[in-house]
Structure 1
Amino acid sequence: MEKRDIMDLRPKVALVLAVISLMAIVWVDISSGAEIRISSWYLIPLLLVTWNINRIWGYFFTLVALAILLGIEPLVGAGATRHIYFYFETVGRFASYLVVISMASKLRQAYDREKRLARTDGLTGLMNRRAFYASIEVEIARRIRNFQPFSLLYLDCDNFKQVNDTLGHNAGDQLLRLLADTLKESVRHGDVVARLGGDEFAIFFPDTNPADIASIMPHLKAALQSAMQRGFPDATLSMGVAIFVSIPPNLDEVIMRADQLMYRVKDSGKNGVLQQTF
C-alpha cells in the first residue's frame, strides 16, 4: 500500500468536506445579503468532489449549487429575480462552473498520468525502483508492527549483455518484457513486482515464511524458465530470497540481505536460487 499524496483526499472525506463547505457558503451567502456576492465561493465544494471523486460528482454539485443560488436569491437579491439580468447571470454562472469542472477534470487526468509515469518503468510497465522502495517501506513497517513475516526476492538475468550483443537491443528489451510479464502472471495477489533497472527485478512477498517460499519458488522458477526457453534458451537467472521472520532494523538491511544472496548465486556459477531466513 502506497503513501497517499497530500493532494488527494479519500472520496468519502472529500464528499463530507464538500457538503460542509457548501452549507457554510450558503449560510455566509444568506447572512451577507445583496451587498456581498460570493457566487465564486461555490466552486470550492465543486472542485473538491471533481478532483477527489470524479467529474460526474462535480456536475451534480453544480446543479445543487445552482438550485441553492436560485432558491436563496429572493432572500439576498432584493428583488433581482424579477429582472432579466438575473437569469442571464444565472446562466453565466452555470456555464462558468461547467467550464471550471471540465478544466479541473482534465488537470486531474494529466496529474494522474504523470504520477503513474513517475512510478512506472517505461519498458515493462512494472513499478520502478523508487516506487517499489516507497511501497515496501510502508508494507515492512506494518508487518514489523504486527510481527508478520515477509520475504524479498532479487532477480538478475544472467548473460543479458550477451543477448544484447548477439541479438540486438530490441531482443534485449523483448526479454525484459517477457520476464516482467511472466513475473506478473506468476505471483500471488498482493505480491509487489518491480524492475529495479537494467536486468534486475524484485518481488516483495508479504506474509510469507520459509515454508511459503519453498512452495512459491519452484513454480516461479519453472514459469520463468519455460518462458525464456521459447526465445532465449541461453539466458538464465540468479535469484536471492531473504525471508524475515524476525524484525529487521530497517529497509536498507532488508535490501542488502536480498542483494547479497543474489550475488552469491552469481559468484558461484549463476543460474540458481539461494534463500535464507533471518
Structure 2
Amino acid sequence: MMMTQDQPWQIKMFRKALKKQLKVKTIAKHLGDLQGKQCLLVTCGDNNGATNYYLRSLGGTWTWGDFEDKSIPEMEELLQEKVHFLDKESGKLPFPDETFDVVVSIDVHEHLEDPVPVSLELARVTKPGGKVIITTPNGDETKLAVRIKHLVGMTAKEYGHVRIGFDIPELEELARKAGLKPVANSSYSKFFTEMLELVINFAYVKILAKKSAAPVEEGTIAPTTKEQLRSVEKSYRIYALVYPLFWLISQLDWLLYPTRGYAVVVEARR
C-alpha cells in the first residue's frame, strides 16, 4: 500500500512498527484463502486497529473484539465498523456457537490469569473443521532478550501481562484442552527485532509516557490513541527518520533463521 499524506495515523504508525508488520505477515501465512469465510479477530489492548485493517484486506468477512476498551474508539475510527468490548474476567465471547470459519487471537492469553476459558470460547465459536490461530509472546525465560528485558526493568507487568507468554508446546496443550487439534506452528521476531522493539518500548514506558499530556494507563508500551501520539510527536518524528536504520538492523534476524522467535503462533483445527 502506498503512503499518502492523508493516510490514517494508525496506518502511518504501523508502517514504522517492525514487529507488528512481521506479525501480520506471519498470521497471513496461516490464514490461507479467506474468500467467503466468516472471520473473528480478538485482541487485548496495544491495538489501534491497524492490524485489523491489514487482516481485513486479505479477504473474508471480519468481526472484531478486544478485551481492553481504551483503544476501541481509535479502532472503530479506522475500521468504520463495530469493535466488541469483551469481558476479560469470564472470557465469554458474545457470539453463537459455530459462527466463524477462522478465529484469530492475537496476544491475549498472556494477559489472563487463567487462559483456559478464553481458549474454550475460541473453540466454541469456531465451526467444525474451522481454523483457530493463537499468537503470544514466547514464554521461554532463558532466551537472551527476555533476560535483558528483565535486567532493564521491562518485566511482564510493564507490558500489562500476567506472564511472559507461552512457548509453542504450552500453546498447543492449551489448544488441546479446548478440544482443538494443533496442525501447524511458527514464530517471528528474532533477537535483533526484539532488541529494537525493547529500545522503543523502554523509551516510551520509562521516559515519554511519564511526560505525556495524554493519560497513559499502566501496561501501555506504545501510543495507542491519537492524543498519546500527539504528546510524543517530536520524538516520533525522530524515530521516523531513523526507522530505515532500524529496518536494516532487523534484517540481521535472517542470520538466526533456525532459532525460534520471541513471538509464537499455533494453528489448530476444531
TM bin, normalised by shorter chain, reads under 0.3
Larger-Rg structure: 1
Higher helix share: 1
Greater RCO, CA 8 A, separation 6+:
2
Higher strand share: 2
**TM-score (norm. length: structure 1):** 0.25
